[in-house]
């Protein structure tokens, strides 16, 4: 068994991250397996180096250690580009030149597309551009790369994954529309990078928050297209604050740094979290 914890260094870790890390760490250690860290720092404009060090220090405080060096997404851009190139050669991705304003305008049209699990789905404006127009506009127009999801699905057929405690679940990538695989400002989207990394790192069990369960629809399709193994998944309940909302990086009171500064024992906290016992005022909820 190999599990991982994959923080984005865009803020301080909070109790929700601790819960996720403890579950993944204990699952691996209890099975005599390995536990690795991945730093999701692909978004260069939002990632800060200081949060990488702070996150690793928080994990150590919880009594968590890890195998090997943390994997940095920012060091894996060539792999992401190679995978995108393969999909491009198969005609499964296309460049999209739409600005946010273009997309907003077509979504507000009377018969705009329905919402997907992650909000509005892309109306497909650039899917039908001719090769000539693409080639001309690629020269100097900012663009992202989108998956032609319908075409990709035609190559993949029905897709499923094994969800802990639930058995087989069907993936529904079509509900997401033509998702972005490489962005104007970042060479790979979370979906592409995370799917490739989990395979490269040999992750056998993806243990992460239930907020990401819909993403697994897309990850499962990418695994199929790129010939990658499908790990087992466990999407766990989310830690919520007194207001019943899931914690966000701006909830300073729940940050691990502030709990540590308040003299809380990190290892005792990790043991409590492993038993689903949360500090007063916090609860676990399934979205």
Segment near ligand GLU (CB under 6 A); pick from 5-13, 63-71, 75-83, 130-138: 5-13
Segment near ligand GLU (CB under 6 A); pick from 3-11, 76-84, 154-162, 170-178: 3-11
Enumerate the β-bridge partners of residue 158. Answer: none
Query: Taking the complex as a whole, how short is the minimal distance between the CB of residue 7 and ligand GLU, in angstroms?
Result: 6
Secondary structure of residue 209 in the 3-state scheme:
strand
Of 121, 180, 174, 118, nearest to 151 (Cα)? 174
Q: Let me know the angle formed at the C-alpha of 12 by 40 and 209, rounded to the nearest 5 degrees.
A: 60
Closer residue to ligand GLU, CB minimum distance, 69 or 140: 69
Q: Are 240 and 282 in contact (CB under 8 A)?
A: yes
Q: Quick check: 197 binds ligand GLU (CB under 6 A)?
A: no
Closer residue to ligand GLU, CB minimum distance, 23 or 147: 23
Q: Are 192 and 184 in contact (CB under 8 A)?
A: no
Residues 199-218, one symbol each (x = binds ligand GLU by CB under 6 A, - = not), give ---------x---x------
> Using CA atoms, how far apart are residues 2 and 67, in angstroms rounded to an integer?
10
Q: Quick check: 189 binds ligand GLU (CB under 6 A)?
A: no
- Residue from 47, 149, 194, 255 touching ligand GLU (CB under 6 A): that is 194
> Using CA atoms, how far apart are residues 10 and 98, in angstroms rounded to an integer?
27
Q: How far apart are the first and last CA of the chain?
A: 27
Q: Quick check: 239 binds ligand GLU (CB under 6 A)?
A: no
Closer residue to ligand GLU, CB minimum distance, 6 or 181: 6
Query: Taking the complex as a whole, how short is the minimal distance between the CB of residue 191 and ligand GLU, in angstroms?
Result: 9
Query: Taking the complex as a whole, how short is the minimal distance between the CB of residue 73 and ligand GLU, in angstroms?
Result: 9
Distances (CA, A) of 221 to 20, 41, 84, 117, 130: 24, 23, 14, 15, 26
What's phi and psi for 127, nearest 5 deg?
A: -65, -35
Segment near ligand GLU (CB under 6 A); pick from 4-12, 60-68, 156-164, 178-186: 4-12
Query: Taking the complex as a whole, how short is the minimal distance between the CB of residue 141 and ligand GLU, in angstroms?
Result: 30
Q: Quick check: 43 binds ligand GLU (CB under 6 A)?
A: no
Q: Quick check: 40 binds ligand GLU (CB under 6 A)?
A: yes
Closer residue to ligand GLU, CB minimum distance, 76 or 208: 208
Enumerate the β-bridge partners of residue 239. Answer: 284
Query: Please, what sign has the CA dihedral across residues 125, 128, 133, 136?
Result: positive
* Backbone φ/ψ region at 169: left (φ over 0), alpha (ψ -120 to 50), beta: beta
Q: Quick check: 149 binds ligand GLU (CB under 6 A)?
A: no
Name the site residues for ligand GLU (rule: CB under 6 A).
Answer: 6-8, 40, 194, 208, 212
């Amino acid at each position: 068994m190999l599990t991982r914890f994959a923080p984005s260094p865009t803020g301080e870790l909070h109790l929700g991250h601790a819960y996720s890390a403890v579950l993944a760490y204990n699952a691996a250690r209890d099975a005599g397996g390995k536990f690795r860290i991945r730093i999701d720092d692909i978004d260069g404009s939002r990632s800060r180096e200081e949060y990488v060090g702070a996150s690793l220090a928080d994990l150590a405080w919880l009594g968590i250690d890890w195998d090997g060096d943390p994997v940095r997404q920012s060091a894996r851009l060539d792999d992401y580009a190679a995978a995108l190139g393969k999909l491009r050669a198969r005609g499964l991705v296309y460049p999209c030149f739409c600005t946010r304003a273009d997309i907003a305008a077509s979504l507000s049209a009377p018969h705009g597309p329905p919402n997907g699990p992650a909000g509005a789905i892309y109306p497909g404006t650039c899917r039908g551009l001719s090769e000539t127009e693409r080639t001309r506009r690629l020269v100097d127009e900012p663009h992202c790369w989108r998956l032609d999801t319908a075409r990709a699905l035609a190559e993949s057929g029905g897709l499923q994954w094994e969800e802990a405690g639930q058995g087989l679940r069907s993936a529904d990538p079509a509900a997401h529309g033509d998702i972005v695989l490489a962005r104007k400002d970042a060479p790979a989207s979370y979906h592409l990078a995370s799917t490739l990394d989990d395979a490269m790192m040999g992750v056998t069990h993806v243990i992460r928050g239930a907020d990401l369960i819909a993403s697994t629809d897309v990850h499962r399709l990418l695994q199929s297209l790129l010939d990658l193994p499908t790990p087992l998944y466990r999407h766990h309940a989310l830690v919520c604050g007194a207001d019943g909302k899931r914690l966000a990086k701006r909830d300073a009171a729940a940050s691990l740094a502030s709990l540590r500064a308040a003299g809380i024992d990190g290892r005792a906290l990790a043991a409590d979290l492993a038993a689903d016992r949360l500090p007063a005022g916090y609860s676990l909820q399934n979205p």
